[in-house]
Structure 1
Amino acid sequence: MTDVDFNMMPVNEARSRVWHARREAVRDVVLTRDLRLSVHVSMQALEADWRALEASPATSLHQSFDWCAAWATTHASQLLLVRGTIDRKTVFILPLELVRGRFFRTARFIGSPHSNINTGLFAADFDPLTREQLASTLIAELTTKLSRVADIVTLEKLPFDWRGVSHPLASLPAVRNQNSSFQLPLLDSFEATLAQLNAKRRRKKFRVSEKRLEALGGYEHVVATTLDERRQMLDLFFEQKAIRFKALGLPNVFQDCETLAFFHALAAVGPTGDGQPLELHAIRLRGKHEGRIVAVAGLSRKGDHVICQFGSIDDDIAADASPGELLFYLMIRKFNAEGVSLFDFGIGDQAYKRSWCTVETVQRDIVLPLTLNGRLAAWVHQLAVRLKAEIKKNKRAYAFLQRLRQRRQATGGALTGAVDDD
């Protein structure tokens, strides 16, 4: 689907669209009459329906109950949980939070700054008669129910085509996000998976890494199994990443207290029925440097989908062994053997991701202005996305922007961002 310019839609126009749609066909009248939207502020009140909807493989783990609960308990933002029902059956939930900026009030996906891919939650059997009608109804209903508290609704990092399913909201006005996400399908065997890439080169790099680590006394691939181990490994990641960001002159998107608390809350959840919100993997040395961890990765697993949320390395020891690359090799091999179908490197275009991935997923931002001020906010969002996309193409301009963000952060400016800096 081609990108659509933002629709700066006032309230009256949104409502007139719904009225026009009602007149076009009886089936559209049925959908409008039966579909009801309500807004809730308590996650617990929706937990049963929420967990039932999140079971769908088409639902991102970033909209799972545990992920959103961890964010909600560590942040003070107001929740705006939009539930859609037909005949009292919950057919979708849009888990939003209200963020008050200097000029605009934005309702966005919960935890959006640290999510890699968003979908909302939709029933597997939800089949609206026309997507255009669903879009018009949603615009009008959100305008009616949220315009007193929010100027704009932003549904960011949303793929319109995900795992063979076209998104129910694909008819809403959207702009392409400045970043794509990158995935590697895991096939019947690890050999078949590597065959999608340059298998010979991959195996050679693996052998070189192993040889260099063996010269230091060897290594082991470890997975944190207890809460204490997960906490210790997570703290080590924060420490390694801070050093790395400083060395590169980049802002540290993990440094604020709320972000630290959020990831610790995720780590405390532990394994669930179909995965784990945050699983910590590492390369730990033996021999002379016994116990030294030289690479850390944080993964989230939901069913047969694994997302790499973050990673770090220790530059002081064995950097020439590429421990980060080695850890990816070992994790992918492990998950391949466990029946995982998709290893997701997350959002952000980086060379190591392209070297591993055969799939690039385009993501889009749906932006719905609810007020006159929201129309200005939508224009600002559109302009910002396009500017970011252009800046990323210019290495010199991108480096200057990163230095500017780092200086702002050093002087106390509030900065948050996705796991891969946007």
Structure 2
Amino acid sequence: MGSMDVVELTNSQIFGGHSYVAPGSSQGALRNPEVLDPSCVSGQIRVVNPDGGPDATLYLMTDLEAVREAWTNFQSSAWSTPFQSFDWVRSWYLEGSSSPKSKPAIILGYEGNVLTFILPLGVEPFLGVKRLCWLAGDINDYNCPLVAPEFASRLTEKMAAEIWDGVAKVIGEVDVFHLTRQPEFIAGVRNPFMVKGIASSSCASHMLTLESDWKSLYRRLRSSRTRSRLRQKHAKLRREGKLQFRSVRSQAERDLVIDTVLRWKGEQLEASGDRNPFLSATLQRTIKNCSQVRQGTISLRIYGLYVDNRLIAGVIAFVGSQTFSLFVTAYDPRAFAQCSPGTLLLLKMLELSARAGLHSFDFLAGDEAYKRDWCDRTLVLKDSFWGVSMWGRVDARISHLTLKYKKILKANPTAMVLLRRINYFKVQAMAIFAAWIKSKRNSGSPKQSKAS
């Protein structure tokens, strides 16, 4: 593909900063549970290892700030995903979460005085039952524990089941475990905590294995005809004005790009009749808050493709030591759509990720056609539902049935077309109704002011 002006884009500038995960890191595990403030420990329980290995002590923490130090120190060497970063979860919680009644129930698991895992959980009321869910699970693409690599490699299913039983006992107010979008593998190792009530999620995630030789990788990914067509689109876009790819630095511009990209993505989903998760104010504010973290525990990056300083496509992504995770990407459908700016921006991100020495490009959860088109492997996501109380078992059964029929519906193209049409007309009707309400309010304002 032809050249493109790249503003402030050395590898260290694009991909530098704190890594969200360092699988197999040699850093030592966090020691001394005594650093936890005893007044902040809401409960603890000892879990006996049925396999004869070390027992575990579970500490229940209901205050996020009380676990900040333990969490942030541990995540630098633990296996996890960007969605288990302390800053991400904290921002989600402070912004209200999907349920204002969500109550943190964070479990710190120790062997002796060594922290080996963190379960970022929360209790949420739902139709009279108390569900135990992953914190920020409503906006996360991946939900899982933070686990020390050495512990993950030897944790057995029996011990994992005992730990979950201990979690229910130490929290004491759980009817049902409702754990969704859990990756089957974390850093290439099977997720050892998925042992109960397991079913495949309604979607998967998709990844591409990168190679440092970008030209060779690109030739393998795309035919000569496709590469030629993309070069032509790139050349046409350059003729429209000064073409630049930027890593967005200033906070004011970051906020603007975030708002714009989420709006474009939402419009795209609504136009196709798909559900629009980007209407969530909690998600929008969480992304903005985390984009402000410079040397913190998360590496959220914002990128844009510009023509004459006009944004025409944007990317919101997490960048780690080995993986580029594409969270949201969208383009302006009203500007140069015939030049495929979204594809050109994606291609640039793939190239820079490969040249920077990253191992994987993660398209995250979702079965969109473009993800399947670029990926070379699929990561299975799992949901786990199991009840502790009678009503919890009823809720778990309903959740399993709902998931089953959702997957049946997604597998039926005719049904999906009908559902998308219904969703599209519903969105249009809501927009018309909102406009009508607004016009009524505006028409009433002069009368009110005149009367006053």
Same fold, TM-score > 0.5, yes or no:
yes
Q: Which residue of 1 aligns with 2:372?
A: 354
C-alpha distance in 2 between matches for 1:333 and 1:310: 18
State yes or no: 1:136 paired with 2:136.
Answer: no
5+ long unaligned stretches in structure 2 = 1-46, 432-452
Between the two proteins, the alignment pairs up a number of residues equal to 380
Relative to structure 1, is the Cα distance of residues 410 and 343 closer, same or farther in structure 2, using a 3 angstrom cutoff? farther
Q: Specify the code of the residue in structure 2 equivalent to 1:104.
A: V
Relative to structure 1, is the Cα distance of residues 340 and 369 closer, same or farther in structure 2, using a 3 angstrom cutoff? same
Relative to structure 1, is the Cα distance of residues 391 and 182 closer, same or farther in structure 2, using a 3 angstrom cutoff? same
State yes or no: 1:164 paired with 2:182.
Answer: no
Q: Which residue of 2 aligns with 1:40?
A: 61
* Percent identical residues: 23
1:57-136 equivalences in 2 (<5 Å): 58-75=79-96, 76=100, 77-126=102-151, 131-136=156-161
C-alpha distance in 1 between matches for 2:192 and 2:429: 42
C-alpha distance in 2 between matches for 1:100 and 1:223: 41
C-alpha distance in 1 between matches for 2:77 and 2:162: 24
Deviation, structure 1 residue 57: 6.8
Q: Which residue of 1 aligns with 2:280?
A: 256
Deviation, structure 1 residue 30: 4.9
Deviation, structure 1 residue 106: 1.7
Q: Which residue of 2 aligns with 1:55?
A: 76
Q: Which has the higher relative contact order, 1 or 2, with Cα contacts under 8 A spaced 6 or more apart?
A: 1
Greater CA drift, 180-189 or 110-119: 110-119
C-alpha distance in 2 between matches for 1:61 and 1:400: 35
Deviations 1:41-81 (A, max 9, x none): 12222223322332247311111112111111112321111
C-alpha distance in 2 between matches for 1:57 and 1:204: 43
Q: Which residue of 2 aligns with 1:378?
A: 396
Deviations 1:279-314 (A, max 9, x none): 11111112xxxx221111110122211211111111
Relative to structure 1, is the Cα distance of residues 45 and 389 closer, same or farther in structure 2, using a 3 angstrom cutoff? same
Contact 1:85/1:91 (8 A) holds in 2: yes
| Higher Cα Rg, which structure | 2
Contact 1:219/1:284 (8 A) holds in 2: yes
Deviation, structure 1 residue 239: 2.8
C-alpha distance in 1 between matches for 2:229 and 2:65: 48
1:357-368 equivalences in 2 (<5 Å): 357-368=375-386
1:90-239 equivalences in 2 (<5 Å): 90-126=115-151, 131-148=156-173, 150-198=174-222, 200-239=224-263
Q: Specify the code of the residue in structure 2 equivalent to 1:361.
A: L
Name the SS for the 2:105 alignment partner.
strand
C-alpha distance in 1 between matches for 2:220 and 2:75: 30
Deviation, structure 1 residue 335: 1.6
Contact 2:88/2:286 (8 A) holds in 1: no
Greater CA drift, 98-107 or 127-136: 127-136
Relative to structure 1, is the Cα distance of residues 383 and 308 closer, same or farther in structure 2, using a 3 angstrom cutoff? same
Contact 2:155/2:192 (8 A) holds in 1: no
Relative to structure 1, is the Cα distance of residues 107 and 399 closer, same or farther in structure 2, using a 3 angstrom cutoff? farther
Deviation, structure 1 residue 159: 2.3
Q: Which residue of 1 aligns with 2:412?
A: 394
Deviation, structure 1 residue 192: 3.5
C-alpha distance in 2 between matches for 1:83 and 1:30: 18
**TM-score normalised by the chain length of structure 1:** 0.82
Greater CA drift, 347-356 or 122-131: 122-131
Deviation, structure 1 residue 408: 7.9
C-alpha distance in 2 between matches for 1:212 and 1:163: 41
1:283-298 equivalences in 2 (<5 Å): 283-286=305-308, 291-298=309-316
5+ long unaligned stretches in structure 1 = 1-20, 413-422
Contact 2:245/2:304 (8 A) holds in 1: yes
Greater CA drift, 220-229 or 118-127: 118-127
C-alpha distance in 2 between matches for 1:50 and 1:314: 39
Deviation, structure 1 residue 405: 5.2
**TM-score normalised by the chain length of structure 2:** 0.77
Contact 1:206/1:329 (8 A) holds in 2: no
C-alpha distance in 2 between matches for 1:185 and 1:30: 36
Deviation, structure 1 residue 201: 4.6
Q: Which residue of 2 aligns with 1:28?
A: 51
Deviations 1:235-272 (A, max 9, x none): 11133234323433344321232222222212222354
Q: Which residue of 1 aligns with 2:6?
A: none
Deviations 1:14-34 (A, max 9, x none): xxxxxxx97xxx963554xx2
Contact 2:79/2:148 (8 A) holds in 1: no
Relative to structure 1, is the Cα distance of residues 59 and 113 closer, same or farther in structure 2, using a 3 angstrom cutoff? same
Deviation, structure 1 residue 142: 2.2
Contact 1:182/1:359 (8 A) holds in 2: yes
Contact 2:50/2:158 (8 A) holds in 1: no
TM-align CA RMSD: 2.6
